[in-house]
Structure 1
Amino acid sequence: MSLLQQLTSDMVSAMKNRDKETLDVVRMLKAAVQNEQIELGHDLSANEEIAVMAREYKQRKESLEEFEKAGREDLINQAKNELAIVEKYMPKQLSKDEVTKIVKEVIDELNASSMKNFGQVMGSVMPKVQGQADGKLVNQVVKEQLSK
């Protein structure tokens, strides 16, 4: 089942269950996928679907951080609930140890030895972890490994 079909099915379920919050989030996600399809002019591949979901997840995560800084408890709870709903459509997230392992493999492949190789390492790691790890985490791990 494609992501779009899954979203449509979940939207119908949310309507039947009168779950307004889930319905709103699923509608936004479905719209984001459809907009991406229109923009690209073709049905999305699995990787493109993951990229859309990762973008939506990142937006909500950044909003949550801003709400926490501002002390907006009402919006914090809403953002956390939205994040939980978006997470259902994301692939399993890699742990820091798993990301570190991938980064070490890439560093060995590229014979990278210093921060001069940072861009090259990031460029090789990101496609491997697309949608499965946050870019900030990957950035942090690459810096740690290259500064050893």
Structure 2
Amino acid sequence: IGWMRSSWLGSGGSRAVKTRREAIEQFEKSGRQDLAAKERAEIGVVERYLPQAMSPEETERAVAALVSELGLKEKKDLGRAMKEFMARYRGRVDGKAVNALIARHLK
């Protein structure tokens, strides 16, 4: 399962959980509690193998450290910062939230 953890679960696993959560909403709206329960059980299995998500505080500290470490100062460095940050923490953070945090640190 080592290869699975690093490749599939690192990027696609969190996407699989998100997709299942959306399916649960739809099943519940349709009155299909049986299918919603099945999706919840599958989420439980997948989440056991996902890397632990970073807290907002951890993410903020990691962004600040990365910006400082790489000496980034301008908005034009956003792409470089995102590429490096996601290479280090993919699967543990929400990319949109990280993008907003990095943008706040750059002028």
Length-normalised TM-score, structure 2: 0.71
Match of 2:5 among 33, 44, 49: 49
Q: Secondary structure at the match of 2:49?
A: coil
1:99-118 deviation digits (Å, cap 9, x = unpaired): 11111111112222232111
Contact 1:93 1:132 in 2 (8 A): yes
TM-fit CA distance, 1:132 = 2.2
Structure with greater Cα Rg: 1
Please list every run of at least 4 consecutive aligned residues from structure 1 whose deviation after the TM superposition is greater than 6 angstroms: none
Match of 1:124 among 79, 84, 90: 84
Q: Does 1:61 align with 2:21?
A: no
Percent identity of paired positions between Structure 1 and Structure 2: 26
**Alignment match, 1:142:** 102
**Alignment match, 2:52:** 92
TM-fit CA distance, 1:66 = 6.1
Rounded Cα–Cα distance in structure 1 between residues aligned with 2:71 and 2:54 = 24
Cα 1:131–1:107 change in 2 (3 A) is: same
Give the residue type in structure 2 aligned to 1:62: T
Aligned residues: 101
Give the residue type in structure 2 aligned to 1:99: T
| 5+ residue gaps, structure 2 | none
